[in-house]
Amino acid sequence: MKIDAIILAAGKGKRMQSASPKVLQQVAGKSLLQHVLDTSLELKSCQPHIVVGDQASLVKASVSAPKNSKWSKQAKQLGTGHAAKQSLKGLRAGSIALILYGDVPLVKSSTMNNLVKAAGKSSLALLSFEQQTPKGYGRIIRSPGGKVLGIVEEKDATTEQKKITEVNSGIMAVASNKLEELLNGLKNKNTAKEYYLTDIVSLANENKIPVKAVKLDSKEEVLGANNREELNQLERNYQLLKAKEFLKKGVIISDPARVDFRGEVKIQKGSSIDINCVFEGKVEIGKNVIIGPGAIIRNSKIGDGSRIEPYTLIENAILEKNVSAGPYAHIGPDAHLEENSEIGNFVEVKRSKIGKGTKAKHLAYIGDGQVSEKVNVGAGTIFVNYDGKNKNKTKVAKGAFIGSNSSLIAPIKIGQNSMIGAGSVVTSDVPAERLALGRSRQRNIKKK
């Protein structure tokens, strides 16, 4: 079944108090519109049709959309029905039109799919939900037998109609050819003088098109944002929904209200997340990983059984199985920590590979390093990788011991099982099995 997803994204969003259009405001590090677009693309044979208006060029440039996406512009703000009409020319024959909103980012692909199935080739299907304080929402009008007769907007509702708690989400699905017929029949005889998309429900009844309401259990899925307060609530709703998904999969989360997921995050069963952790970009966490409070993990992979101590930053890095990092460590960018390696407190690792069982436990900087297995990097060690123009490599062979407070001036090679005496400044290669001392001789001078 072909699906044409019409995403209405033409509104200005004045109440958001922002120079950017409402649909470009962010939830979980991604624009509202991008959320909707990405979710719609999870549907099979889906082609997006994005209707823009305010700052159309900026919206188009700010969104990552597939090449087959269709763009249309609503030059004048004449209502949601008028906006949807702008996309009609690009709809495919025989498709189901799924109407979505660029400022309603949390709708699940499964919900979209259920709505499309409910519509089929012959019906109009809409998403509704219960709202105990329904002010501002269009009310679902039903017959005594439960048949959906239409939707009345808040501005046009009678006192009795305003008491109805089943409200319209605005999200609908209908065969594309029927949508064109219904949109062409819209009138703007209402208080706002706009062409309401919701009016196609009563038009469908008039044209003997069955109308089905698919009621959601969780209204959080279809909430939008018109101002900063509502945008903040969307953020919390998103984070809570993501946390619940992980909890169902066997992930341990200390407090679902104090963790943020801002990207494509995968966490396997048995792993635990303490409070105030942030996951950004593409993140993969293996099984039985322990992540302490305040950790930030960005575009990285962490292997099974690893332990991330509190307040550690990991970015663009790979940590293999049973790695220990932190507390207060900075791993990455482009760091690769092999199995059973240990990076301790206030250690920074960048553009470096750390071998199996290697330890750098305290206060060290490892930049542009290639460190083999079972190396000990003492406290205060510096890989001096920058000569003012270029980044240079430090290579440390298996079993080497780097004494505390040493500086290794790259480019340099430290041989297998060699030892660097504490406090040394090493400027040339050290052969295997040698002790290197690069410090001035101590003198004890009598005080005057």
Q: What is the CA radius of gyration of the chain?
A: 30
Residue 94: pLDDT band with limits 50, 70, 90: very high
Q: Find the length of the chain.
A: 448
- Architecture of the domain delimited by 238-436: 3 Solenoid (2.160)
For residues 23-29, give the mean pLDDT: 95
Task: Please confirm, yes or no, whether 362 is among the known catalytic residues.
Answer: yes
Residue 340: pLDDT band with limits 50, 70, 90: very high
Write out the residue limits of the CATH 2.160.10.10 domain(s) in the chain: 238-436
Residues 136 and 150: their CA atoms lie apart, in Å, by: 16
Question: Residues 6 or more apart from 221 whose CB is under 8 A from it?
Answer: 106, 107, 108, 111, 241
Question: Residue 447: its pLDDT value, please?
Answer: 86
Q: pTM for the complete prediction?
A: 0.87
Question: Residue 15: its pLDDT value, please?
Answer: 85
Neighbour count for residue 146 (Cβ, 10 Å): 7
Helix intervals (H) in 141-207: 176-184, 200-206
Of 49, 82, 336, 362, the catalytic one is: 362
Tokens of 139: 């009310």
Which homologous superfamily does the CATH classification assign to the domain defined by 3-222?
Spore Coat Polysaccharide Biosynthesis Protein SpsA; Chain A (3.90.550.10)
Minimum mean pLDDT range among 118-132, 372-386, 399-413:
118-132
Write out the residue limits of the CATH 3.90.550.10 domain(s) in the chain: 3-222
